[in-house]
Amino acid sequence: MITIVVTGTSSGIGLAIAKRGIERGARVFGTVRSEADAVRVSGELGPGYTALICDVRDDAAVARAADTVRAALDGQRLSGLVNNAAAALPGPLLLQPIEEIRTQIETDLLGPMIVTRAFGPLLGADPTLSGPPGRIVNMSSIGGKLRQPFISAYIASKHGIEGWTGTLRRELQIYGIHVAAVGPGLVDTPIWDKVNSFFGRYDGTPYEEAFNNGVRIIVEAGKKHGMTAEGVADTVWTALTEPHPKLRYAPASHPILEQGVLMAMPQRAIDWGLGFIGLRRKR
């Protein structure tokens, strides 16, 4: 049986990945941060799902979660690890509370490193376990290639994930553990409701116009034009199971625009275009 660990399964993409895995016959261990979420998600997904209550930033809690999975594997190796848990809190760097910046960096970049260190032995680094080596899928984003304003900590983390994925893949070759990144374009998930709650937060500052326009545009685009979380989950399942996995996957509702045109545009042209939302010199 395929057994996978998915971080951040309380909602959105993580929940969809866990659900898709169970539908394909996998046993899924998923991290959540509260007992209430554990009960809710377990009830929704059924006996194929086991909740692991931990924050990916807490190395001791993650280590305990890995011990739980090790015991359940009963001497076999883990088939896959999906580093999905993430936080996205918009705000201009000069004004955003430092704790919000720290939360994003620690959750989105340090968290996957903590989780991978804890579960790496189960994927193949521990020679006492049996079975084929597992795979790691790191969830990146279109933001891992672009440079959207007002989510600088998130963007920095996802750029970091892109580079770290390649480094990690090369390091883990000695164990036969393949590492890939999945960087979707816009996805329609509940995260947009959280982003929308920040509208108006920087009113009365030089960023008022640009920030509010930026939040409005990205939330509308995400809800109206984003691909489904289930579509991303299908891509993750492919990365975990196809015989010859790619190094990077980039699913999108509009791949030519999101993963083609936007990626190819000169950076100065994008800078100029952002003037239309209000990102222009004030004085």
Where in the sequence numbering do the catalytic residues fall? 154
Query: Shortest CA distance to 153 belongs to which of 194, 103, 209?
Result: 103
Strand runs (DSSP E) across 127-266, as ranges?
135-139, 178-182, 187-188, 227-228, 248-249
Question: What are the counts of helices (DSSP H) followed by strands (DSSP E) for the chain?
Answer: 12, 9
**8 Å CB contact between 110 and 161:** no
CA–CA gap between residue 186 and residue 264 (Å, rounded): 17
Burial class for 172, CB neighbours closer than 10 Å (0-12, 13-18, 19+):
buried
Q: What is the DSSP letter of 198?
A: T
In the numeric block, which tokens belong to residue 165? 């994925």
